[in-house]
Amino acid sequence: MTRRAGGRDAFAAALALLTGRALTSGELSARLRRRGFDTEAIAAASARAAGFGYLDDRRTAAAWAESAARVRGLGPRRVREGLARRCLPRELAAEAVAAVFGDGGEERLAREALERWERAKGPAAGAARQRAAYAHLRRRGFSTAAARAVLFKPAEDL
């Protein structure tokens, strides 16, 4: 059944949801389910939206991972967690994280996050300030290795 009691088409509802922001298949399914559509209608609407290119989990995961890392300053762990919350399969999340943080990208992005922190809090000079900066980077989701590398290696070595 593609209609619910109010007579609204599941595909029309999907399009309305997708105009607000890019959603994953899992997010779209959950939202349509909350609006009262049955499983068959949701599957048909999702397939149709994907066929038109409006629903693309790989593209959405890549864009979200890139934005989370570059704009919000999140590390790989926090990006993976965010992608999981967006109802994406682990393999797809791992692929998006690898694309953003591979080939030295984690240390480069950790350095950018550290520079933002230093602009707000002051330089990470001295043991106490380095511990605070290290804790900040770890909370943002960067690995121990990346946090140590940016705090204890000169920028030219990265």
Report pLDDT digits (tens) over 35-47: 999 999 999 999 9
Residue 92 in this model has a pLDDT that exceeds 90 = yes
Kindly indicate the confidence band of residue 26, based on its pLDDT and cuts at 50, 70 and 90: very high
What is the structure's pLDDT at 155? 57
Q: Any bridge partners for residue 3, and if so which?
A: 9
Q: Give CA separation, 156 vs 53, 101, 106, 149, in Å.
A: 43, 19, 16, 12
Kindly indicate the confidence band of residue 153, based on its pLDDT and cuts at 50, 70 and 90: confident
Write the CB contacts of 148 (distance below 8 Å, at least 6 apart in sequence): 134
CA angle (50 as vertex; 46, 56 as ends), nearest 5:
110
> What predicted TM-score, i.e. pTM, was given to this entire model?
0.84
d(CA 117, CA 107): 15
pLDDT above 90: percentage of residues in the chain? 85
| Least confident residue range of 18-22, 24-28, 68-72, 144-148 | 18-22
Kindly indicate the confidence band of residue 154, based on its pLDDT and cuts at 50, 70 and 90: low
Q: Is CATH 1.10.287 the classification given to domain 10-51? A: no
Kindly indicate the confidence band of residue 5, based on its pLDDT and cuts at 50, 70 and 90: very low
d(CA 48, CA 15): 10
Residue 90 in this model has a pLDDT that exceeds 50 = yes
What is the structure's pLDDT at 158? 47
* Neighbour count for residue 152 (Cβ, 10 Å): 10
Kindly indicate the confidence band of residue 76, based on its pLDDT and cuts at 50, 70 and 90: very high
